[in-house]
Amino acid sequence: MNIESLREFCLSLPHATGDVKWGADICFSFGGKMFCVSGFSKLLHVSLKVTDEEFEEMSSRHSIIPAPYAARYKWVLISEHAGLTDKQWKHYITQSHELVKNKLPKKLQKNWYKSEDR
pLDDT tens string 68-107: 989 999 999 999 888 899 999 999 999 999 999 998 887 7
Predicted TM-score of the model (pTM): 0.88
- The answer to whether position 118 is within a domain reads no
Q: Which domain holds residue 95?
A: 3-113
CA atoms of 3 and 15, how far apart (whole Å): 20
Task: Give the span between the Cα atoms of 39 and 53, in whole angstroms.
Answer: 26
CA-CA distance, 80 to 46, in Å (whole number)?
Answer: 8
CB 31 within 8 Å of CB 15: yes
Q: What is the mean pLDDT of residues 3-17?
A: 95
Q: For 81, list phi and psi in degrees, rounded to 5.
A: -75, 0
The enclosing domain of 15 has a CATH number of 3.90.1150.30
